Chain A
Amino acid sequence: AQKVTQAQTEISVVEKEDVTLDCVYETRDTTYYLFWYKQPPSGELVFLIRRNSFDEQNEISGRYSWNFQKSTSSFNFTITASQVVDSAVYFCALRSGSQGNLIFGKGTKLSVKP
Protein backbone atom coordinates (compact mmCIF):
# COMPACT_ATOMS: atom_id res chain seq x y z
CA ALA A 1 0.00 0.00 0.00
CA GLN A 2 1.07 3.55 -0.63
CA LYS A 3 0.97 6.14 2.09
CA VAL A 4 2.27 9.63 2.79
CA THR A 5 2.64 10.93 6.32
CA GLN A 6 3.09 14.57 7.23
CA ALA A 7 3.29 14.43 10.98
CA GLN A 8 3.33 18.19 11.49
CA THR A 9 -0.20 19.49 11.29
CA GLU A 10 0.64 23.13 11.92
CA ILE A 11 3.86 25.10 12.24
CA SER A 12 4.17 28.72 13.24
CA VAL A 13 7.40 30.68 12.78
CA VAL A 14 8.50 34.26 12.79
CA GLU A 15 9.66 35.83 9.57
CA LYS A 16 13.30 35.08 8.63
CA GLU A 17 13.34 31.83 10.56
CA ASP A 18 14.22 28.62 8.75
CA VAL A 19 11.58 25.91 8.79
CA THR A 20 11.56 22.26 7.71
CA LEU A 21 8.43 20.39 6.72
CA ASP A 22 8.65 16.64 7.11
CA CYS A 23 7.32 14.00 4.74
CA VAL A 24 7.59 10.23 5.11
CA TYR A 25 6.30 7.91 2.43
CA GLU A 26 5.57 4.22 2.00
CA THR A 27 5.55 2.26 -1.23
CA ARG A 28 6.67 -1.15 -2.42
CA ASP A 29 7.31 0.04 -5.95
CA THR A 30 10.90 0.66 -6.99
CA THR A 31 9.84 3.38 -9.40
CA TYR A 32 7.94 6.25 -7.86
CA TYR A 33 7.70 10.02 -7.86
CA LEU A 34 7.49 12.44 -4.99
CA PHE A 35 5.99 15.90 -5.10
CA TRP A 36 5.45 18.98 -3.03
CA TYR A 37 2.50 21.28 -3.65
CA LYS A 38 1.66 24.59 -2.02
CA GLN A 39 -1.92 25.63 -1.29
CA PRO A 40 -2.07 29.33 -0.39
CA PRO A 41 -5.14 30.84 1.28
CA SER A 42 -6.63 31.47 -2.17
CA GLY A 43 -7.03 27.71 -2.50
CA GLU A 44 -5.24 26.68 -5.65
CA LEU A 45 -2.66 23.88 -5.67
CA VAL A 46 0.70 25.06 -6.91
CA PHE A 47 3.33 22.55 -8.01
CA LEU A 48 6.72 23.10 -6.35
CA ILE A 49 8.92 20.12 -7.12
CA ARG A 50 9.04 16.57 -8.40
CA ARG A 51 11.63 13.91 -7.61
CA ASN A 52 11.84 10.41 -9.02
CA SER A 53 13.04 7.43 -7.04
CA PHE A 54 16.28 7.13 -8.96
CA ASP A 55 17.42 10.63 -8.27
CA GLU A 56 18.42 11.23 -4.66
CA GLN A 57 20.19 14.46 -5.41
CA ASN A 58 19.01 17.25 -3.18
CA GLU A 59 17.66 20.33 -4.85
CA ILE A 60 17.76 24.00 -4.06
CA SER A 61 15.58 26.64 -5.64
CA GLY A 62 16.07 30.04 -4.14
CA ARG A 63 14.99 29.88 -0.51
CA TYR A 64 13.51 26.41 -0.99
CA SER A 65 15.45 23.16 -0.67
CA TRP A 66 14.47 19.53 -0.62
CA ASN A 67 16.20 16.56 1.01
CA PHE A 68 15.31 13.17 -0.45
CA GLN A 69 16.58 10.16 1.51
CA LYS A 70 15.51 6.70 0.37
CA SER A 71 17.12 5.08 3.41
CA THR A 72 14.58 6.76 5.66
CA SER A 73 11.80 7.10 3.05
CA SER A 74 11.72 10.81 3.61
CA PHE A 75 11.39 13.84 1.36
CA ASN A 76 11.70 16.90 3.56
CA PHE A 77 11.23 20.49 2.50
CA THR A 78 13.12 23.42 4.01
CA ILE A 79 12.32 27.09 3.62
CA THR A 80 15.22 29.34 4.48
CA ALA A 81 14.58 32.84 5.78
CA SER A 82 10.83 32.39 5.71
CA GLN A 83 8.55 35.19 4.57
CA VAL A 84 4.92 36.01 5.26
CA VAL A 85 4.08 35.03 1.67
CA ASP A 86 5.20 31.49 2.48
CA SER A 87 2.15 31.08 4.70
CA ALA A 88 0.16 28.24 3.16
CA VAL A 89 -0.67 24.57 3.48
CA TYR A 90 2.03 22.40 2.00
CA PHE A 91 1.24 18.93 0.68
CA CYS A 92 3.64 16.10 0.04
CA ALA A 93 2.43 13.55 -2.52
CA LEU A 94 3.49 10.20 -3.94
CA ARG A 95 2.85 8.62 -7.28
CA SER A 96 3.94 5.02 -7.58
CA GLY A 97 5.00 3.86 -11.01
CA SER A 98 2.19 1.33 -11.19
CA GLN A 99 -0.61 3.88 -10.86
CA GLY A 100 -1.55 7.22 -12.24
CA ASN A 101 -2.94 9.16 -9.33
CA LEU A 102 -1.25 11.00 -6.49
CA ILE A 103 -1.49 9.94 -2.86
CA PHE A 104 -1.43 13.04 -0.69
CA GLY A 105 -0.38 13.58 2.86
CA LYS A 106 -2.72 15.48 5.17
CA GLY A 107 -0.75 18.67 4.69
CA THR A 108 1.20 20.98 6.99
CA LYS A 109 -0.18 24.43 7.61
CA LEU A 110 2.66 26.93 7.83
CA SER A 111 2.06 30.34 9.35
CA VAL A 112 4.81 32.89 9.04
CA LYS A 113 4.30 35.88 11.27
CA PRO A 114 5.91 39.26 10.69
Chain B
Amino acid sequence: DAGVIQSPRHEVTEMGQEVTLRCKPISGHDYLFWYRQTMMRGLELLIYFNNNVPIDDSGMPEDRFSAKMPNASFSTLKIQPSEPRDSAVYFCASSDYSGRRETQYFGPGTRLLVL
Protein backbone atom coordinates (compact mmCIF):
# COMPACT_ATOMS: atom_id res chain seq x y z
CA ASP B 1 0.00 0.00 0.00
CA ALA B 2 1.13 3.57 -0.64
CA GLY B 3 0.71 4.72 2.94
CA VAL B 4 -0.94 7.95 3.98
CA ILE B 5 -0.48 10.63 1.34
CA GLN B 6 -0.44 14.33 2.14
CA SER B 7 -0.19 17.34 -0.10
CA PRO B 8 1.39 19.76 -0.39
CA ARG B 9 4.54 18.79 1.47
CA HIS B 10 5.50 22.42 1.96
CA GLU B 11 3.37 25.53 1.87
CA VAL B 12 4.45 29.13 2.26
CA THR B 13 1.73 31.72 2.31
CA GLU B 14 1.03 35.20 3.50
CA MET B 15 -1.11 36.13 6.44
CA GLY B 16 -4.76 36.34 5.50
CA GLN B 17 -4.60 33.81 2.70
CA GLU B 18 -6.60 30.61 2.61
CA VAL B 19 -4.66 27.38 3.01
CA THR B 20 -5.94 23.91 2.14
CA LEU B 21 -4.13 20.77 3.22
CA ARG B 22 -5.05 17.44 1.72
CA CYS B 23 -4.87 13.85 2.91
CA LYS B 24 -5.50 10.45 1.40
CA PRO B 25 -5.67 7.74 4.07
CA ILE B 26 -4.60 4.15 3.67
CA SER B 27 -7.24 2.24 1.75
CA GLY B 28 -9.63 0.38 4.05
CA HIS B 29 -8.86 2.46 7.12
CA ASP B 30 -11.95 3.79 8.86
CA TYR B 31 -10.37 6.43 11.09
CA LEU B 32 -8.61 9.57 9.96
CA PHE B 33 -6.79 12.03 12.22
CA TRP B 34 -5.34 15.49 11.80
CA TYR B 35 -2.52 16.45 14.19
CA ARG B 36 -0.42 19.58 14.44
CA GLN B 37 3.18 19.72 15.64
CA THR B 38 4.81 22.86 17.01
CA MET B 39 7.85 23.40 19.18
CA MET B 40 5.75 24.96 21.93
CA ARG B 41 2.87 22.51 22.07
CA GLY B 42 4.32 19.34 20.62
CA LEU B 43 2.00 16.94 18.79
CA GLU B 44 -1.67 17.65 19.38
CA LEU B 45 -4.88 16.36 17.89
CA LEU B 46 -6.98 18.75 15.87
CA ILE B 47 -9.84 16.52 14.74
CA TYR B 48 -10.62 12.94 13.86
CA PHE B 49 -13.19 11.16 11.72
CA ASN B 50 -14.73 7.73 11.84
CA ASN B 51 -16.29 6.52 8.61
CA ASN B 52 -16.14 10.09 7.27
CA VAL B 53 -18.03 11.52 10.26
CA PRO B 54 -16.23 13.98 12.57
CA ILE B 55 -16.06 12.47 16.05
CA ASP B 56 -13.92 14.86 18.06
CA ASP B 57 -13.04 18.37 16.90
CA SER B 58 -12.22 19.75 20.33
CA GLY B 59 -8.65 20.37 19.25
CA MET B 60 -9.55 22.69 16.39
CA PRO B 61 -8.12 26.04 17.52
CA GLU B 62 -10.88 28.33 16.34
CA ASP B 63 -13.38 28.99 13.61
CA ARG B 64 -10.64 29.76 11.15
CA PHE B 65 -9.97 26.01 10.98
CA SER B 66 -12.31 23.58 9.27
CA ALA B 67 -11.97 19.96 8.18
CA LYS B 68 -14.00 17.80 5.89
CA MET B 69 -14.02 14.20 4.77
CA PRO B 70 -16.33 13.93 1.77
CA ASN B 71 -15.46 10.27 1.17
CA ALA B 72 -13.38 7.45 2.60
CA SER B 73 -10.32 8.32 0.54
CA PHE B 74 -9.98 12.06 0.97
CA SER B 75 -9.90 14.71 3.67
CA THR B 76 -9.07 18.40 3.75
CA LEU B 77 -8.00 20.76 6.49
CA LYS B 78 -8.63 24.39 5.66
CA ILE B 79 -7.37 27.51 7.39
CA GLN B 80 -9.07 30.76 6.44
CA PRO B 81 -7.69 33.32 7.06
CA SER B 82 -4.24 32.04 7.95
CA GLU B 83 -2.09 33.70 10.63
CA PRO B 84 1.62 33.44 11.44
CA ARG B 85 0.85 31.42 14.59
CA ASP B 86 -0.61 28.70 12.37
CA SER B 87 2.91 27.90 11.16
CA ALA B 88 3.50 24.26 12.05
CA VAL B 89 3.78 20.77 10.63
CA TYR B 90 0.37 19.24 10.02
CA PHE B 91 0.16 15.47 10.04
CA CYS B 92 -2.62 13.26 8.80
CA ALA B 93 -2.88 9.71 10.15
CA SER B 94 -5.21 6.81 9.55
CA SER B 95 -6.10 3.62 11.36
CA ASP B 96 -8.19 0.50 11.03
CA TYR B 97 -9.74 0.30 14.49
CA SER B 98 -12.76 -1.68 13.37
CA GLY B 99 -10.38 -4.34 12.14
CA ARG B 100 -8.78 -4.31 15.59
CA ARG B 101 -5.58 -2.96 14.14
CA GLU B 102 -4.83 -0.29 16.68
CA THR B 103 -1.87 1.40 15.09
CA GLN B 104 -2.09 4.86 13.56
CA TYR B 105 0.03 5.39 10.48
CA PHE B 106 1.17 8.89 9.71
CA GLY B 107 1.64 10.74 6.47
CA PRO B 108 4.85 12.68 5.77
CA GLY B 109 3.31 15.92 7.02
CA THR B 110 2.75 19.35 5.49
CA ARG B 111 5.15 22.02 6.67
CA LEU B 112 3.21 25.29 6.70
CA LEU B 113 4.82 28.69 7.02
CA VAL B 114 2.58 31.73 7.25
CA LEU B 115 4.44 35.00 6.76
Contact = CB atoms under 8 A, between A and B. Distances in A.
Interface residues on B, range: 20 to 34
Nearest to A106: B42
Interface stretch (A43-51, A67-75, A79-87): A43-51
B103 A45 contact: no
Given A100-B55, A100-B97, A101-B33, A35 B103 contact: yes
Interface of A: 33, 35, 37, 43-45, 47, 50, 52, 91, 95, 99-102, 104-107
A43 B43 contact: no
B50 interface: yes
B102 A52 contact: yes
Contacts of B104: 35, 47, 95, 102
Given A45-B106, A100-B31, A100-B48, 14 more contacts: A35-B103, A37-B106, A43-B89, A47-B105, A47-B106, A50-B102, A52-B102, A95-B102, A100-B33, A100-B55, A100-B95, A101-B48, A105-B42, A106-B42
A99 B56 contact: yes
Contacts of B68: none
B108 A44 contact: yes
Nearest to A95: B102
B113 interface: no
Given A45-B106, A50-B102, A50-B103, A101 B91 contact: no
Contacts of A100: 31, 33, 48, 50, 55-56, 95, 97
Contacts of A45: 91, 93, 106, 109
A38 B61 CA distance: 26
B103 A47 contact: yes
Given A100-B50, A101-B33, A104-B43, A44 B103 contact: no
